[in-house]
Amino acid sequence: MESERESVHNLTEPPKMISASPQTTLPQLDELIDGLPNISGWEKEVLEVVNHNEPVFLPTTNIRLEDITATFAIALHMHQPTVPAGSNGEFISNLQYMFEHQGEGDNHNAGPFAYCYSRMGDFIPELVAQGKNPRVMLDYSGNLLWGLRQMGRGDVLDNLKRITIDPTYQRYVEWLGTMWSHTVAPSTPIPDLKLHIQAWQHHFAALFGWSALARVKGFSPPEMHLPNHPDTLFEFIKALKECGYRWLLVQEHSVETLTGQPLPYKHLPHRLVARNSRGETLSITALIKTQGSDTKLVAQMQPYYEAKTLSQQQLGNVLVPPIVSQIGDGENGGVMMNEFPSAFKQAWENMAHHGGGKSGVVGINGTEYLELLEAAGCTPEDYPTCQAIGQHLVWQRVSPNSCTPEVIAQTIDELKQTQPNFHMDGASWTNHLSWVNGYENVLTPMNQLSALFHEKIEPFLQEETFTQQTRYREALMNNLLLQTSCFRYWGQGVWTDYAREIYRRGESQLQTSF
Residue 431 confidence (pLDDT) above 70 = no
pLDDT interval class at 20 (50, 70, 90): very low
Per-residue pLDDT at 5: 29
Percent of the chain whose predicted confidence (pLDDT) is above 70 = 91
Q: 385-402: per-residue pLDDT in tens? A: 999 999 999 999 998 888
Residue 434 confidence (pLDDT) above 70 = no
Beta bridge partners of 361: 70
For the chain, what is the mean pLDDT?
90
pLDDT interval class at 24 (50, 70, 90): low
Per-residue pLDDT at 506: 97
Residue 15 confidence (pLDDT) above 60 = no
Residue of 301 and 334 predicted with greater confidence: 301
- SS3 (DSSP) at 163: helix
Query: The pTM is what?
Result: 0.92
Per-residue pLDDT at 427: 61
Percent of the chain whose predicted confidence (pLDDT) is above 90 = 81
Residue 21 confidence (pLDDT) above 50 = no
- SS3 (DSSP) at 138: strand
pLDDT interval class at 428 (50, 70, 90): low
Per-residue pLDDT at 424: 83
Q: 154-168: per-residue pLDDT in tens? A: 999 999 999 999 999
Overall average pLDDT of the 213-240 stretch: 96
CA dist list (Å): 318 to 65, 72, 309, 373, 382: 11, 19, 20, 9, 10
Per-residue pLDDT at 327: 94
Cα dihedral angle (407, 413, 418, 420), rounded to 10 degrees? 130
- SS3 (DSSP) at 109: helix
**What would you report as the CA-atom Rg of the chain, rounded to the nearest whole angstrom?**
22
DSSP one-letter string for 468-510: GSHHHHHHHHHHHHHT-THHHHT-SSHHHHHHHHHHHHHHHHH
105 Cβ contact partners less than 8 Å away, ≥ 6 residues apart? none
CB 364, CB 269: distance < 8 Å: no
Q: 135-152: per-residue pLDDT in tens? A: 999 999 999 999 999 999
In three state form, how does the secondary structure of 294-335 look? CCHHHHCCHHHHHHCCCCCEEECCEEECCEEEEEEECCCCHH
Overall average pLDDT of the 455-479 stretch: 97
Residue 422 confidence (pLDDT) above 90 = no
pLDDT interval class at 489 (50, 70, 90): low
Per-residue pLDDT at 492: 67
Per-residue pLDDT at 356: 87
Query: Number of H helices and number of E strands within the chain?
Result: 21, 19
Q: 41-58: per-residue pLDDT in tens? A: 999 999 999 999 999 999
pLDDT interval class at 490 (50, 70, 90): low
Beta bridge partners of 70: 361
Alpha helices in 263-418 (DSSP H): 296-299, 302-307, 334, 340-352, 366-375, 391-395, 405-418
Q: How many CA atoms lie within 13 A of 332 on its CB side?
A: 13
Of 282, 324, 298, 412, the residue nearest 71 (C-alpha): 324
Q: 277-322: per-residue pLDDT in tens? A: 999 999 999 999 987 656 889 999 999 999 999 999 999 999 999 9
Q: 161-187: per-residue pLDDT in tens? A: 999 999 999 999 999 999 999 999 988
Q: State the amino acid at position 254 in one-letter form.
A: S
